Amino acid sequence: MIIGGDGYCGWPTALHLSNKNYEVAIVDSLVRRLFDHQLGLDSLTPIASIHNRLRRWKSLTDKNIQLHIGDICDFEFLSETFKSFEPDCVVHFGEQRSAPYSMIDRSRAVFTQHNNVIGTLNVLFAIKEYGEDCHLVKLGTMGEYGTPNIDIEEGFITINHNGRTDTLPYPKQASSFYHLSKVHDSNNIAFTCKAWGIRATDLNQGVVYGVRTDETEMNEELCNRFDYDGVFGTALNRFCVQAAVGHPLTVYGKGGQTRAFLDIRDTVQCVELAIANPAQRGEFRVFNQFTEQFSVNELAALVTKVGKKLGLDVDTISVPNPRVEAEEHYYNAKHTKLIELGLKPHLLSDSLLDSLLSSAIKFKDRVDTNQIMPSVSWRKIGVKPKTVPA
């Protein structure tokens, strides 16, 4: 069962697992598409409706993916899907995934925490009630850890304190209401593993880039979404679109912010590895799901270099940082557990950047340049509901 299977990570994962002969059901409220309508946004790539996507997949592969449209915050709906599909594994992508979205106004902050925390709590209760042996593979975020001045371990850290030693959950320093929702999820999951014997893998994923996987390339109706706006677009994807339309690359502040990154093809590979090697009953595992680390300035330099090869004139500007974060800091995160399970990473190469930039150039007529600059301020968030002007 893939919750959030219509989204940026969920859709390619659903296709990949179906292609690997897993029986797949997508559970999705389609609210991500509603956000686009509400905020006046659109994917760079044209994306088909979920029904047309699944019909096309069936016609190409003769494989059927079940579809359950509804909100997992509605426990009655979630119960029915659990009872009808009887999942061996739940892959939970079904959360509001944008830090800026959670910082637009009070109502979006509350929505984010309610949707994410209550949704995950409902999934945990559904597993306890209807499928005690079901393995939860939950998408977390590297953002749970913040940017501490020590190495980031995978979920747990061994501490010596006043002559005693213990292995404890790694300290969390979330930087938005979205990231905080993920921290709350991790705590709830860890508790239910201990209390109820749930088996769970928390995948603390870095920033994802790319748009293509083997399966989404099979037909244009299977194409994945590609967000470039200031609310849902991720750093590298945004830079590629900015370069394609001749907009200066928007580096926030000093640009020394360093984060963990991975290719969308590795997202689907990591999920497959977690499913094939499930946690034990009562075990709460944490994998740091990324392949490389880059600063924002390093990403801008890479896009500039590859853009010039394609004949693009790429400039970079520093814009006032809308976030509250360190702009120069130490960052060294461990990520060995998925490699040990067999992850074969797709590292960021000139050829991948060439492909991303070429995609952006292909669809550049679909770019709304009004959506490129950041419009959400961490410090100015207020209680008044914000509506985007027409």
Catalytic residues: 141, 178, 182
Residue 387: which H helix or E strand, with range?
none
Distance CA 276, CA 291 (A): 20
Pairing label, strands 135-141, 156-161: unpaired
* DSSP 8-state code for residue 74: S
> How long, in residues, is the chain?
390
161 φ, ψ (degrees, to nearest 5): -145, 120
Q: Are 209 and 34 in contact (CB under 8 A)?
A: no
Distance CA 333, CA 260 (A): 8
Amino acid at 11: W
Distance CA 152, CA 260 (A): 11
Q: Angle formed by the axes of helices 106-113 and 177-196, to 10°?
A: 20
Output the DSSP codes for 300-346.
HHHHHHHHHHTT----EEEE---S-S-SS----B---HHHHHT----
Output the DSSP codes for 223-261.
PPP---STTT--HHHHHHHHHHHTPPEEEETTS--EEEE
Find, among 201, 169, 170, the residue nearest to 91 by Cα. 201
Q: Residue 145 half-sphere exposure, CB side, CA atoms within 13 Å? A: 30
* DSSP 8-state code for residue 291: S
Q: Are 156 and 88 in contact (CB under 8 A)?
A: no
68 φ, ψ (degrees, to nearest 5): -125, 110
Q: How many CB atoms lie within 10 A of CB 52?
A: 12
Handedness of CA 379, 231, 348, 175 (dihedral sign): positive
Q: How far is CA 242 from CA 12, 218, 376, in A?
A: 24, 27, 18
Q: Is 180 helix (H, G, I), strand (E, B) or coil?
A: helix
